[in-house]
Amino acid sequence: MISRRPFLKKSLLATVGVLAAPWLSRAGSKTNNFVPGEKKSGQPLVISTWKHGLAANAKAMDVIRAGGSVLDAVEQGVMVTEADPESRSVGLGGLPDRDGKVTLDACIMDDQGNCGSVCFLEDIVHPVAVARLVMEKTPHVMLAGEGALQFALEQGFKRENLLTEKSRVDWEKWKKKAKYDPEVNIENHDTIGMIAIDEGGDMAAACTTSGMAYKLRGRVGDSPIIGAGLFVDGDVGAAVATGHGEYVMRTLGSFLIVELMRNGHSPQQACEEAVSRIIKKYGKDKRIQIGYLAVNLSGEYGAYSIRKGFNYALAGKDENVLVDAGCLL
Q: x/- binding map, residues 88-107, to ligand ASP, per CB under 6 A?
A: -x------------------
Smallest distance from the beta carbon of 211 to ligand ASP, in angstroms?
Answer: 4
Minimum distance from residue 189 beta carbon to ligand ASP (Å): 3
Residues sharing a CB contact under 8 Å with residue 180, sequence separation 6 or more, in sequence order: 98
Q: Which run of H or of E encompasses 48?
A: strand 45-49
Under the binding rule (CB under 6 A), the answer on residue 289 touching ligand ASP is no
Consecutive H or E run containing 248: helix 245-251
Q: Which of 191, 208, 209, 242 is catalytic?
A: 191
Q: State yes or no: residue 227 binds ligand ASP (CB under 6 A).
A: no
Query: How far apart are alpha carbons 116 and 99 in whole angstroms?
Result: 27
Alpha carbons 187 and 184: distance in angstroms, whole number = 9
Part of the chain binding ligand ASP (CB under 6 A), chosen from 94-102, 153-161, 209-217, 309-317: 209-217
Smallest gap from residue 134 Cβ to ligand ASP (A): 19
103 is known as an active-site residue? no
Minimum CB distance to ligand ASP smaller for 212 or for 294 = 212
Q: What is the DSSP letter of 118?
A: E
Q: What whole-number distance in Å separates Cα of residue 65 and Cα of residue 302?
A: 23
- Of residues 32 through 71, those in contact with ligand ASP by CB under 6 A are none
Identify which of residues 219 and 297 has a Cβ nearer to ligand ASP in the complex.
219
Establish if 305 lies at the interface with ligand ASP (CB under 6 A).
no
Phi and psi at residue 241, in whole multiples of 5°? -130, 155
* Partners of 324 in the β-ladder: 311
What is the C-alpha separation between 98 and 120, in angstroms, rounded? 14
Distance CA 178, CA 180 (A): 6
Site membership for ligand ASP, residue 226 (CB under 6 A): no
Catalytic residues: 191
| Residues lying near ligand ASP in the complex (CB under 6 A) | 89, 189-191, 209, 211-212, 221-223, 242-243, 245
